[in-house]
Structure 1
Amino acid sequence: MIGLAVACALCAAIASGLGARLQHGGVRAETRDGELHLRSLARLGRNPGWLLGFAVLGVGTVLQIVALTLAPVIVVAPLVVLALPVVAVLSGRRDRTSMLAIAAVSIAVGVFVALSSDAAASPRLPPSDVLDATQIVTVIVAVLGTIALFGRGLVRCVALSAAAGAAYGLVSVLVRDVASTVQTLGLAELPWLVACGAVAAFLLGAWFVQLAYASGPPDVVVGCQTMVNPLVATVLGMTVLGEAPAMHPLTLALLAVCGAAALAGISVLVRHYQVVSSLRRRSRYSRST
């Protein structure tokens, strides 16, 4: 089952990368001031590229849900980071620094999944644990949302993307709880409140992503979002949800190293984009004068 879950999660990551690239183009085409407003939604609904991206992301969401019904969160969630190489290739970012950063993220995630899949467990989640996870993520999203509210440019983009990642991380946890409950107790015991919470967190994350697209490039949006998403989901899975009860301390240390390597790769990518953007602005200014 874990092998099939990993395959579904990989396909979901590819769909996420392609959908993100398409939606970013649609949002950029429909915004003029670098910010997306509610009145822009009607125009987005008529943009073919954005609609196609929405459909592709829908397929990816279904595949992610299937993966979460077959394997624990700490196995499935990290694979979403592999959407980053897809976006980088589609965006044409093939300079050495970007490719090395993307390679570091991809390798770190691959090792993380390989290590966690052997020790992962699938315990039943008491309602108190689900509530604790929701409260933790709510605080994280509120802090990041406040930073985005007062930030501009790339700071706003990173904060919004990270907030979306935190919301999506909670979605993974809630979907896993719903799937586990239905598999164990049957559809009659479907936890409707948890399911509604998953839908609400997903919609909030999706809106944050659209706002982030209006403030920055797609690879930075996807990089930040897909780094925070598995980080939140995995930490919650290991602590609040108890999905790694018998994991060896050495394995935990290796997982921490993988997480740090992935975070460093994302940081390098964001910083590199800042430098490249600054050089491009100076070049355009020099030509105009």
Structure 2
Amino acid sequence: MGIAILCALAGAVLSAVGAALQHAGVRDVGDLTVRRFTRLAGNRRWLLGFAVLFVAAVLQIVALAMAPVTVVAPLAVMSLPIIAAIGVRHVTRGFAVAVMAATGGVATFVAIAARTAVTTDVEPATVLRAGQVVAAVVCAFVVVGALRSGTARALALAAGAGAAYGLVAVLVRDVTTSLPSLPWVSFTGLALAFLVGAALIQLGYASGPADLVVAGQTVVNPIVAAWIGMVLLDETQGAGRGTVIALVTSAAVSLTGIAAIARFHRRRLASSPADCATTPP
């Protein structure tokens, strides 16, 4: 468990760095549309970000192979304070409190879940059910993103990506623990969910600041993964009512922090649009 948590934390740090690089690459390309996705392959900063994120993904896979999804997945939100420090030049007290709320809520969630979560098998029927629920959630966020613009669009797309990545975390655990045999349902769902999430992240970068996109993705991701782990996989089957209430409360604190971060960026955009478009170093 300890090694898994260390790998997940290292992956979170690299995820923040990779996200900042990819955000800069997307801003270099300009107004990103589906037809212009190929231009990203020629951008050095975007490619470097991709390489960093690949290493982060490997560390996450190692962590998921050794510990329950309910424990590992929420640690991704630890990338939030790092990306905030990289991308926001003038940090207000309110913004700092929002970041701490989003990060601290998930840290509390992990601390509680680590004491009660147990590893369970992932059945094909569970994979299909989880896929259906997550697909509906992703579609809802995409519709919201299509109807909005600016930071609201970025946050909606990031949340959709987070939901897709939450499913990825569960399917990665199933695939890695099933080797050398390969569960094709999980593998196919993993590839599809990953591609959808990656595309939504890039579109989110084109619409808003990197820290907002990372915030939306890294908070929704563990909440979806933890919901699957707790409800569908029954990883917290030994948890009492008080533990469940504490888990839900900590998740709510994180979501409140994300809402405050989004509000901060809306105000910053209203006061200085050019500042919001500034690319992180």
Which range, TM-score by smaller chain? over 0.9
The one-letter code of the counterpart of 2:178 is: T
1:25–1:49 Cα contact (<8 Å) kept = yes
**Match for residue 155 of structure 2 among 158, 179, 196:** 158
Kindly provide the CA deviation profile for residues 58-102 of structure 1, in whole angstroms up to 9, marking residues without a partner as x.
001111111000001000010001111110111134221211111
Q: Once superposed, what is the RMSD of the aligned Cα atoms?
A: 1.5
1:199-214 alignment, distance < 5 Å: 199-214=191-206
Number of the residue aligned with 1:262 = 254
**Match for residue 119 of structure 1 among 116, 121, 124:** 116
Return the alpha-carbon distance in structure 1 between the equivalents of residues 274 and 231 of structure 2: 47
1:228 counterpart = 2:224: no
Return the alpha-carbon distance in structure 2 between the equivalents of residues 227 and 239 of structure 1: 18
The one-letter code of the counterpart of 1:227 is: V
1:119–1:247 Cα contact (<8 Å) kept = yes
1:70 counterpart = 2:70: no
Please report how far the alpha carbon of residue 193 of structure 1 lies from its aligned counterpart in structure 2 after TM superposition. Answer: 2.7
Number of the residue aligned with 1:147 = 144
Consecutive unaligned residues of structure 1, counting only runs of 5 or more, are 284-289
Kindly provide the CA deviation profile for residues 222-273 of structure 1, in whole angstroms up to 9, marking residues without a partner as x.
0011111001000111001111101011111111111111111111111011
Q: Which has the larger radius of gyration?
A: 1
TM-score, structure 2 as length reference: 0.94
Return the alpha-carbon distance in structure 2 between the equivalents of residues 257 and 197 of structure 1: 30
Return the alpha-carbon distance in structure 2 between the equivalents of residues 263 and 136 of structure 1: 20
Q: Judge which range, 166-175 or 92-101, deviates more.
A: 92-101
Other structure's SS at 1:45 match: helix
Q: Judge which range, 207-216 or 43-52, deviates more.
A: 43-52
1:173-188 alignment, distance < 5 Å: 173-182=170-179, 187=180
**Match for residue 55 of structure 2 among 54, 59, 62:** 59
Please report how far the alpha carbon of residue 145 of structure 1 lies from its aligned counterpart in structure 2 after TM superposition. Answer: 1.3
Number of the residue aligned with 2:269 = 277
Number of the residue aligned with 1:24 = 23
Moved over 3 A (4+): none
Please report how far the alpha carbon of residue 151 of structure 1 lies from its aligned counterpart in structure 2 after TM superposition. Answer: 2.0
**Match for residue 133 of structure 1 among 112, 130, 135:** 130
Number of the residue aligned with 1:286 = none
Identity %: 44
Consecutive unaligned residues of structure 2, counting only runs of 5 or more, are 276-281
Kindly provide the CA deviation profile for residues 167-226 of structure 1, in whole angstroms up to 9, marking residues without a partner as x.
0000001111112323xxxx1x22123112111111110000000000000011000111
Other structure's SS at 1:214 match: helix
Aligned length: 274
Q: 1:102 to 1:207 in 2, by over 3 A?
A: same
Return the alpha-carbon distance in structure 2 between the equivalents of residues 282 and 148 of structure 1: 22
Q: 1:123 to 1:272 in 2, by over 3 A?
A: same
1:124–1:181 Cα contact (<8 Å) kept = no
The one-letter code of the counterpart of 1:55 is: A
TM-score, structure 1 as length reference: 0.91
2:124–2:185 Cα contact (<8 Å) kept = no
Return the alpha-carbon distance in structure 2 between the equivalents of residues 112 and 181 of structure 1: 27
Other structure's SS at 1:163 match: helix
2:127–2:185 Cα contact (<8 Å) kept = no
Q: Judge which range, 143-152 or 256-265, deviates more.
A: 143-152
2:151–2:265 Cα contact (<8 Å) kept = no
Return the alpha-carbon distance in structure 2 between the equivalents of residues 281 and 161 of structure 1: 20
Return the alpha-carbon distance in structure 1 between the equivalents of residues 256 and 33 of structure 2: 32
